């Protein structure tokens, strides 16, 4: 399972990349706005920092506009993956961008039928949003499991990118479901490292080592 960071914060991305465990980054207009950065410049900086796929989202609402914007985004850097919404217009744009040889991430996917259509566009990724479904009392992980089953049934090439993950258990459940990619905020990524027994055990080993050296 690949690990992507869901952020536009350069410090977080550089720290993640320095660990050698990061495979890519997803952004969205809200995340870029939060950083107050210039959109184009920030996408280049992210691509250079992660050296892996970086999703950059279109903001036009009509198919033609999305295709035009998607082609421009794809020119920014070879690592750019164009994010299109899973709407009728977005799916049409995805199909057209895929036809141009551009990698697409179909975002804001909230149902299995939508995911089925995404696969048929030939998009590289489908992004089902787990946390936002949980927020409205639906089990977001059920959607992930359904999509993985459907994609396996037909050997669809589109990769399942579990998005809107809010805590480590989401990551574990996504991995158990067999997703290709999990994208998560930096704070969730950091939590993956933590276990109190690791800290306690390491502390004890180092104390005993000091005793050994003193002999
Ligand atoms: C994914 O590409 C999205 O940017 C993201 O996972 C949304 O997460 P949120 O629902 O926590 O905002």
Q: How confident is the model at residue 211 (pLDDT cuts 50, 70, 90)?
A: very high
The stretch 95-106 carries a mean pLDDT of 98
Nearest alpha carbon, ligand 1 atom 1: 163
55 CA distance to ligand 1 middle (Å): 12
pLDDT at res. 144 = 98
- Each residue's pLDDT tens digit, 141-180: 999 999 999 999 999 999 999 999 999 999 999 999 999 9
**24 vs 80: CA distance, rounded Å:** 10
Contacts for 117-123 with beta carbons within 8 Å, 24 or more apart? 117/86, 117/91, 118/86, 118/91, 118/94, 118/158, 119/150, 119/151, 119/154, 119/156, 119/157, 119/158, 121/91, 121/94, 121/95, 122/94, 122/95, 122/98, 122/157, 122/158, 123/84, 123/94, 123/98, 123/158
CA dist 213 and 107 (Å) reads 56
The answer to whether 131 and 108 have CB atoms below 8 angstroms apart is: no
pLDDT band (50, 70, 90) for residue 108: very high
Token pair 């009509």 is found at 62
Q: Is 183 in the pocket of ligand 1 (CB under 6 A)?
A: yes
Residues 192-204: pLDDT tens digits? 999 999 999 999 9
Ligand 1, atom 5, residue with closest C-alpha: 164
Q: Of residues 2, 75, 83, 95, which has the active-site annotation? A: 83
Active site residue 88: no
SS (H, E, C) 23-68: CEEECCHHHHHHHCCCHHHHHHHHHHHHCCCEEEECCCCCHHHHHH
pLDDT, tens digit (0-9, with 9 covering 90-100), for 75-100 = 999 999 999 999 999 999 999 999 99
CA distance between the termini of the chain: 46
What pLDDT score does 8 carry? 98
Residue 32's pLDDT is: 95
From atom 12 of ligand 1, which residue's Cα is the shortest distance away?
A: 164
pLDDT digit string, tens, across residues 17-73: 999 999 999 999 999 999 999 999 999 999 999 999 999 999 999 999 999 999 999
> Which pLDDT does position 124 carry in this prediction?
98
The answer to whether 164 touches 147, Cβ cutoff 8 Å, is no
164, two tokens = 């809107």
């Amino acid at each position: 399972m690949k690990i992507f960071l869901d952020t536009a914060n350069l410090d977080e991305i550089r720290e993640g990349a320095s660990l050698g465990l990061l495979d890519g980054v997803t952004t969205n207009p809200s995340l870029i706005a939060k950083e107050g950065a210039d959109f184009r410049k920030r996408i280049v900086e992210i691509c250079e920092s992660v050296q892996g796929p970086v999703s950059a989202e279109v903001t036009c609402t009509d198919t033609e506009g999305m295709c035009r914007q998607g082609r421009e985004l794809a020119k920014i850097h070879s690592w750019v993956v164009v994010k299109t919404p899973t709407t009728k217009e977005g799916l049409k744009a995805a199909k057209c961008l895929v036809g141009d040889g551009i990698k697409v991430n179909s975002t804001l996917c909230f149902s299995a039928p939508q995911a089925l259509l995404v696969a048929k566009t030939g998009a590289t990724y489908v992004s089902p949003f787990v946390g936002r479904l949980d927020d409205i009392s639906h089990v977001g992980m059920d959607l992930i499991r359904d999509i993985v089953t459907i994609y396996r049934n037909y050997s669809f090439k589109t990769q399942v990118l579990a998005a809107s993950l809010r805590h480590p258990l989401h990551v574990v459940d996504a991995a158990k479901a067999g997703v290709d990619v999990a994208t998560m905020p930096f704070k969730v990524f950091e939590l993956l490292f933590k276990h109190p027994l690791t800290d306690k055990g390491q502390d004890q080993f180092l104390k005993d080592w000091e005793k050994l050296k003193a002999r």
